[in-house]
């Protein structure tokens, strides 16, 4: 008898509870997807908060998939699986967050010159950039 | 006492069951694949406003198509789980039915996505139009390629179960396939939110 369990294998020998887990996952994931579409279309939410709400719903749904479909649990038999997942989440956060941070910073501080479409969709006018330019360009 | 000591020594020294080692190794691969996708997500997030005077997401994306694609993929993840349960119960008929439905839903997803891509290219909104569309086709296309490869794998697993039955090695492959298919659905949740919902709302 080992102290470990493969990812996706939490209830290896109990078909009924396994099917129940997939049913719960389907229901929750479907509800969260529907909530995401509702969030986008409803007039009742403060518009600037919609993006944050969508992100929160997506992260919640990823959690539902991990627990009910991939059977990643917090049990002691799952420590290795959770540690690997945590490391993956760390790298993903660094990669996506770091890219957005660096590129936003470059946009603010760097005069990209004519012809560069600013991420806002408008081309950048040099005189609009109030901040100091990088050296050697003046 | 000696049996307790022997079993304690066994659990400390004997290698883990092969199923656990294979599942864990494939889990590491999937996480590395998710990191690959996160690079494409980062590129898309940085470039999503760089439309070069061309159309943006709000003008191009149809939320109805995205909703149908989400439904196909979520239901296919569910039926894939039912197929895994059928394999655990050693029930070939239910396994084949569940995996056939999984394959049909996955095919419907790929068909919807291909239809969407062709429509965009016809409108002149192909990957060469702007940095935004390059990043869009790279991210969503990479996921579509993964699903297509998964469909080939799925067909192979149906044939192997049919020909060889629920042998231990076949069951390990089924475990890996199910992990792969569920992981693709997780990545789709990110695409649906970041590309389609946030794109349509911008």
Mean pLDDT for A41-59 is: 90
What is the rounded distance in angstroms from the CA atom of residue A38 to the CA atom of residue B181?
Answer: 27
Whether residues A8 and B178 touch (CB distance < 8 A) is answered with yes
Give the best residue of A7, A50, A82 to mutate against chain B (max B CB count within 10 A): A7
Q: What is the largest CA-CA distance in chain A?
A: 72
What is the rounded distance in angstroms from the CA atom of residue B85 to the CA atom of residue B83?
Answer: 5
Q: Which two tokens stand for residue A20?
A: 């129940």
Closest by CA to B181, choosing from B81, B98, B65, is B81
pLDDT digits (tens, 9 = 90+) for B24-50: 999 999 999 999 999 999 999 999 989
Which residues have a Cβ under 8 Å from the Cβ of B135 and sit 6 or more positions away? B40, B43, B44, B46, B47, B48
- Which residue of B28, B50, B70 is in closest CB contact with A33? B70
What is the rounded distance in angstroms from the CA atom of residue B36 to the CA atom of residue B142?
Answer: 10
Predicted complex ipTM: 0.88
Whether residues B24 and A96 touch (CB distance < 8 A) is answered with no
pLDDT of the residue at A127: 46
- Which residue of A8, A30, A37 is in closest CB contact with B23? A8
- A2 CB neighbours in chain B (<8 A) are 11, 16-17, 20
How many other C-beta atoms are found inside a 10 Å radius of the C-beta of residue B95? 24
pLDDT digits (tens, 9 = 90+) for A16-39: 889 999 999 999 999 999 999 999
- Which residue of B38, B49, B198 is in closest CB contact with A51? B198
* Residue B49 vs residues A53, A116, A129, B43, B133: alpha-carbon distances, Å: 21, 12, 18, 11, 10
- B88 φ/ψ sector (left φ>0, alpha ψ -120 to 50, else beta): alpha
Cβ distance B74 to A33 under 8 Å? yes
Q: Which two tokens stand for residue A105?
A: 């910073």
Which residues have a Cβ under 8 Å from the Cβ of A20 and sit 6 or more positions away? none
pTM above 0.90, yes or no: no
Instruction: List per-residue pLDDT tens for chain B, 202 residues long.
Output: 555 555 555 555 567 788 889 999 999 999 999 999 999 999 999 999 898 888 988 899 999 999 999 999 999 999 999 999 999 999 999 999 999 999 999 999 999 999 999 999 999 999 999 999 999 999 999 999 999 999 999 999 999 999 999 999 999 999 999 999 999 999 999 999 999 999 887 6
pLDDT of the residue at A109: 80
Cα distance from B159 to chain A (closest Cα, Å)?
22
How many other C-beta atoms are found inside a 10 Å radius of the C-beta of residue B111? 12
What is the rounded distance in angstroms from the CA atom of residue A78 to the CA atom of residue B23?
Answer: 12
Mean pLDDT for A60-67 is: 95
Which residues have a Cβ under 8 Å from the Cβ of B117 and sit 6 or more positions away? B137, B141, B144
- B16 CB neighbours in chain A (<8 A) are 2, 4
Whether residues A22 and B81 touch (CB distance < 8 A) is answered with yes
């Amino acid at each position: 008898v080992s102290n470990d369990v493969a990812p996706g294998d939490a209830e290896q020998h109990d078909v009924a509870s396994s099917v129940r887990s997939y049913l719960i996952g389907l229901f929750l994931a479907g509800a969260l997807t529907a909530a995401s579409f509702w969030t986008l279309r409803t007039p009742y939410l403060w518009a600037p908060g919609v993006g944050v709400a969508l992100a929160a719903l997506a992260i919640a749904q990823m959690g539902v998939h991990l627990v009910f479909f991939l059977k990643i649990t917090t049990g002691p038999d799952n420590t290795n699986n959770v540690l690997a997942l945590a490391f993956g989440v760390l790298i993903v956060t660094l990669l996506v967050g770091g890219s957005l941070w660096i590129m936003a910073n470059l946009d603010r501080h760097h005069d990209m010159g004519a012809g560069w479409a600013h991420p806002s969709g408008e081309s950048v006018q040099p005189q609009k950039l109030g901040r100091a330019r990088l050296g050697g360009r003046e | 006492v000696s049996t307790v000591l022997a079993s304690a020594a066994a659990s400390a020294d004997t290698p883990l069951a092969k199923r656990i080692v294979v599942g864990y190794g494939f889990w590491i691969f999937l996480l590395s694949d998710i990191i690959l996708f996160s690079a494409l997500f980062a590129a898309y997030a940085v470039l999503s406003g760089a439309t070069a005077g061309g159309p943006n997401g709000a003008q191009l994306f149809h939320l109805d198509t995205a909703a149908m694609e989400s439904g196909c993929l979520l239901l296919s993840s569910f039926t894939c789980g039912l197929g895994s349960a059928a394999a655990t119960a050693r029930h070939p008929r239910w396994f084949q039915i569940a995996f056939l439905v999984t394959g049909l839903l996955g095919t419907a997803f790929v068909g919807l996505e291909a239809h969407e891509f062709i429509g965009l290219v016809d409108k002149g909104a192909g990957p060469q139009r702007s940095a935004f569309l390059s990043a869009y086709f790279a991210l969503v296309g990479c996921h579509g390629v993964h699903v297509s490869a998964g469909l080939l794998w799925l067909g192979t697993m149906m044939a192997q179960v049919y020909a060889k039955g629920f042998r231990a090695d076949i069951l390990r492959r089924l475990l890996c396939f199910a992990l792969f298919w569920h992981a693709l659905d997780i990545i789709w949740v990110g695409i649906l939110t970041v590309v389609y919902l946030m794109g349509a709302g911008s």
